[in-house]
Structure 1
Amino acid sequence: MLVIAHLSDLHLGAHDPSAVASVAADVTAVLPALTVVTGDLTMRARAGEFRLARDLLDRLPTPRLVIPGNHDVPLVSVDRLLAPYGRYRRLIHPELDPVLRLPGVTVIGLQTTPPWRWKSGRVSRRQSEAVLAVLGSAPTGAVRVLALHHPPRAGGLARIVGRTRLMRAVASARVDLILAGHTHVPGAVLVEPGATAHRPVEVVAGTAVSRRTRGTGRSWTAIRVDRRAVVVEERLQTATGWRTGVVRRFPRPS
C-alpha cells in the first residue's frame, strides 16, 4: 500500500489560522510515503506569505514535492517581468519542475504558470517530453505520478495550452495518477488521455487552509494505491477537527 498526501491552494495570506495550526498533524496521521503540494502556496507572492508557507511545509511529512501556482507569481510588480519565480525559488525550492524517485513511486511536477498568463496554464513541449522520459522509464510496478497546478481536464479560465500534447505523453508513459489543484473544488475521476485503454486517475485537491473555499469547505486528500485499486479520501475540516468526507475507489490503471 502506497499512501500519498495531496494538498493544494494554501493561499497563505488569506488563510484560516485554525486550519494552518491543525492540518500538518492530520496529514502526518495517515503516514504518507510522499506529500505533494500542487501550488498556490501564497495569496499574492509576497515574501512574508512565502515565509508562512515555508513554515507550514516544514511541518508536513517528508519526502515532499512542491510546485508553484499562478498566485505564486507577483500580481502587479516589476518582479513579474524580471524575476517572476525569484521568491518561490529562494524561499520554497529552486526547481520549478521537480522530480522524485522513491521506492515504489516516481513523480514529476510541472510548473504550469507562465508569468504572462494570469489564470490559465501552459505545458510546453519540453515539459511533455520530460513526462515521457521520467515516468515512461519508471521501474515496472512503480506508481507513476504527474503533479501540476492546473487540472488537465479543466476548461475556461483554468484551461491548459498544450493539453493534447501533454495527454499523449501521459498515455505513452502509462501515468497512474494526475494530481492538480487550482479550482478549490475537490474531486477525482478516471480520464481518457488518448487512443488507449489506459485510464489514469485525476485527483483535484480542494483548498487546504485558505478562506477561499468556494462553498466546499477546506480539505486535503489522502490517496492509497495498491496493486488493484486507487482509493481517494477527502479529509474535511470541521468545527471539531478533520474528518473523512467523500471516498472514491478506482481500479488501478493497467
Structure 2
Amino acid sequence: MLIAHLSDLHIRPQGMLYQGLVDSNSQCQQAIEHLNGLWPRPDVVIVSGDLVDEGLPAEYEMARTLLDRIEQPLLLIPGNHDDLTLFKASFAQRMPMAGTGPAHFVAGSLGPVRIIGLDISVPGEHHGDMTPAAQAWLDATLAQEPERPTLVMLHQPPFLSGIPYIDTYACRNGQRLAEVLARYPAVERVVCGHIHRHMLLRFGGTLLCTAPSTTTAIALRLDAQAEAASYVEPPALLLHHWKADTGLITHWVPIGTFAGPMAFA
C-alpha cells in the first residue's frame, strides 16, 4: 500500500501570492503533477492541514480546483490556517466528515493500513490541543481494531522541535496522545504537518514524522533566541510504503525534475 503525503499547501485566491512573495498555488500544482507521475501510483493521498492560508472562501474554491486533479481517494485534516466550516463544506463530497464538531475521520477500506485523522485544531488559535475529548475519541477508535496496522495524522506536532518560533504553536498536552499510542503498538506511524520541515523521532512507543511543505521551509534555527524566518527550499512530499515484511517505510521525495536516470545504482 502506497500513501502519498502532502502538507501545508497554503493555497491563495487565484493570482495572489503566499505572504506576497511565493506562488504557493503554482507549487501545489507542481506537487500534484509530480504525484500523478509516480509509479506505482499511490493508493491514497493524505494532506496534513493548512490547505489554505487565510481561511477565505476564494482560497477554498482554488483548493478544490487544484485538489480535484488528484484521482486517488483524498483524506484531509484542517490546520491552524483553515476555517473548519469552509473546510468541511468544501470537501464533503471527497471524504466523509461529521457535520458538527472536529473533523476526525477513520479510513479503513483503502488497504491494509487504517488511516486515522485527528483534528486537534483550536478555532482562532495557531497552536493545537490534545483535549480529553480528542484523547477519548482516539482511544476508542484504535480499540475497534487494536492489532491493525495504523497511521495517525494530525496537524500540529505534539513535541518541541527546538525551533523556538514554531514551538510556540505546537500541539499542547501531547502526553495525552503519547499515553494512548503506548497502548496500541500496531500504530506504525504518527504524521504531522505545520512545521514545514521533515523531522523524525520516537514518540509514544512508535515513530512520528513531520512532512515538508509544498510552499516554504521554516528555517532550521535551533538557537533559543533565533528570529523567525523561512526559505524557499526544494519542495517535497512523503511517500509511506506499507509492506507486510517490513511494516511502514517512509520516503522523503523531492518535487521537481532532476538529472537522470543514469545507468548505475
TM-score, normalised with respect to structure 1: 0.78
Query: Aligned pair in 2 of structure 1 residues 242, 50: CA closer, same or farther (>3 Å)?
Result: farther
The amino acid that maps onto 1:135 is L
Q: Which one has a larger percent strand, Structure 1 or Structure 2?
A: 1
Query: Aligned pair in 2 of structure 1 residues 47, 152: CA closer, same or farther (>3 Å)?
Result: same
Query: Contact 1:184/1:205 (CA < 8 Å) preserved in 2?
Result: yes
Residue 173 of structure 1 aligns to a residue whose secondary structure is: coil
Q: Which one has a larger percent helix, Structure 1 or Structure 2?
A: 1
Query: Of the two, which has the highest radius of gyration?
Result: 2
Q: CA deviation at 1:211?
A: 4.6
Query: Contact 2:239/2:250 (CA < 8 Å) preserved in 1?
Result: yes
Q: In structure 2, how many angstroms separate the alpha carbons of the residues matched to 1:17 and 1:108?
A: 27
Partner of 1:107: 115
Residue 48 of structure 1 aligns to a residue whose secondary structure is: helix
Gaps of 5+ in 1: 74-84, 194-198, 244-254
Query: Contact 1:122/1:160 (CA < 8 Å) preserved in 2?
Result: yes
Residue 158 of structure 2 aligns to a residue whose secondary structure is: coil
Q: In structure 1, how many angstroms separate the alpha carbons of the residues matched to 2:33 and 2:253?
A: 12
> Which residue among 130, 154, 158 is the counterpart of 2:169?
158
Q: Which moved more, 1:173-182 or 1:15-24?
A: 15-24
Q: In structure 2, how many angstroms separate the alpha carbons of the residues matched to 1:65 and 1:135?
A: 18
Q: Which moved more, 1:165-174 or 1:3-12?
A: 165-174
Query: Contact 2:196/2:216 (CA < 8 Å) preserved in 1?
Result: no
Count of paired positions: 221
Query: Aligned pair in 2 of structure 1 residues 70, 192: CA closer, same or farther (>3 Å)?
Result: closer
Partner of 1:62: 72
Residue 11 of structure 2 aligns to a residue whose secondary structure is: coil
Partner of 2:27: 19
Partner of 2:180: 169
The amino acid that maps onto 2:250 is V
Spell out the pairing of 1:61-80 with structure 2 (5 A cutoff).
61-73=71-83
Q: CA deviation at 1:12?
A: 0.3
Residue 234 of structure 2 aligns to a residue whose secondary structure is: coil
Per-residue Cα deviation, 1:33-60 (whole angstroms, up to 9, x for no partner): 2211010000101111111111222222
Q: In structure 2, how many angstroms separate the alpha carbons of the residues matched to 1:110 and 1:139?
A: 17
Spell out the pairing of 1:1-254 with structure 2 (5 A cutoff).
2-13=1-12, 14=18, 15-28=23-36, 29-30=38-39, 31-73=41-83, 85-93=84-92, 94-95=97-98, 96-102=103-109, 103-117=111-125, 119-138=126-145, 140=147, 142-154=148-160, 156-174=167-185, 175-189=187-201, 191-193=202-204, 199-208=205-214, 210-211=215-216, 214-215=230-231, 216-227=233-244, 228-238=246-256, 240=257
Q: CA deviation at 1:62?
A: 2.3
Query: Contact 1:125/1:162 (CA < 8 Å) preserved in 2?
Result: no
Q: In structure 2, how many angstroms separate the alpha carbons of the residues matched to 1:163 and 1:50?
A: 30
Query: Aligned pair in 2 of structure 1 residues 139, 170: CA closer, same or farther (>3 Å)?
Result: closer
Gaps of 5+ in 2: 13-17, 162-166, 219-229, 261-265
Q: In structure 1, how many angstroms separate the alpha carbons of the residues matched to 2:136 and 2:181?
A: 10
Q: CA deviation at 1:229?
A: 4.2
Query: Contact 1:149/1:180 (CA < 8 Å) preserved in 2?
Result: yes
Q: In structure 1, how many angstroms separate the alpha carbons of the residues matched to 2:240 and 2:259?
A: 16
TM-score, normalised with respect to structure 2: 0.75
Q: CA deviation at 1:27?
A: 1.7
Query: Contact 2:30/2:255 (CA < 8 Å) preserved in 1?
Result: no
Q: In structure 1, how many angstroms separate the alpha carbons of the residues matched to 2:64 and 2:259?
A: 22
Q: In structure 1, how many angstroms separate the alpha carbons of the residues matched to 2:234 and 2:259?
A: 11
